[in-house]
Amino acid sequence: MGERTPGLGTNSHARPDHAGPRAAAEELGSEIAGVREELDTLLSELDRRRHDALDLPLQLRRHAVGAGLTAFALVATAAGSVWLTHWRGRRRARPTAKTGRFYHALSRMTEHPERVATASTIPAKIVTAAASAAVAALVKKLLERVVVKVMDASSPDRVGPRPSFPSPAVHDNGRPIGALAASRR
């Protein structure tokens, strides 16, 4: 596309014949058609490459060795991680390891006895209580939503919104439990 278009940069009034503008227009039209054909070719090649790039079976055939090595490396890493965790657990469970950890804890206690049983500060207690309350409220709200969805899914014939959680003293039909028992007598 960096080619110069003939006739665009020249003075069109310098041509002596009267067929100049028509010939220039036809030449530009043929040049535009050529550029369009070239663009169509490029776009069809890009489309073919896009299809090839997103064709997973084709990519696996082309890169079978690399994909196999990657899968093997992932499986080997996972297996190695499991084995190492198991090995460390067995090693820590040995009596000699337990004795070593106990000896280390005793030496720390004798060196710094003030660090053994430090009490929490009041701000730390407040933050802990607030965080605990927030988590409890969040869990309660999530459980309420789950129970309501399960109840709605189990009874598709019910019309209208279902209350989130009825009071323990109220029966399903809205009357108090005592009134229900009195009406049955």
DSSP string, 36-67: HHHHHHHHHHHHHHHHHHH-HHHHHHHTHHHH
Q: Residues 8, 11, 13, 16: what is their CA dihedral angle, to the nearest 10 degrees? A: -90
Contacts of 109 (CB under 8 A, 6+ apart): 116
Please return the burial class of 169, using the count of CB atoms within 10 Å of its CB with bins 0-12, 13-18 and 19+: exposed
Euclidean distance between CA atoms 90 and 137, whole angstroms: 40
Question: What six digits make up the tokens of 56?
Answer: 């997973």
Note the pLDDT of residue 96. Answer: 93
- What is the per-residue pLDDT across 105-152, written as a single tens digit (0 to 9) for each? 999 888 988 877 777 789 989 999 999 999 999 999 999 999 988 888
Domain boundaries, the chain: 129-185
Q: What is the pLDDT of residue 119?
A: 77
**Structure confidence at residue 53 as a pLDDT band (50, 70, 90):** very high
Please give the residue that has the higher pLDDT: either 174 or 42.
42
pTM of the model: 0.37
Q: What are phi and psi of 94, to 5 degrees?
A: -65, 145
Beta-carbon contacts of residue 5 (< 8 Å; ≥ 6 apart): 28, 31
- 179 C-beta neighbours (distance < 10 Å), count: 13
Please choose, from the candidates 43, 12, 42, the residue with its C-alpha nearest in 3D space to the C-alpha of residue 27.
12
Q: pLDDT value at position 81?
A: 97
What is the rounded CA–CA span in Å between residue 137 and residue 25? Answer: 77
Can you give the length of the chain in residues? Answer: 185
Res. 176 pLDDT band, cuts 50 70 90: low
What would the pLDDT profile of 57-109 be if each residue is shown by its tens digit?
Answer: 999 999 999 999 999 999 999 999 999 999 999 999 999 999 999 999 999 88
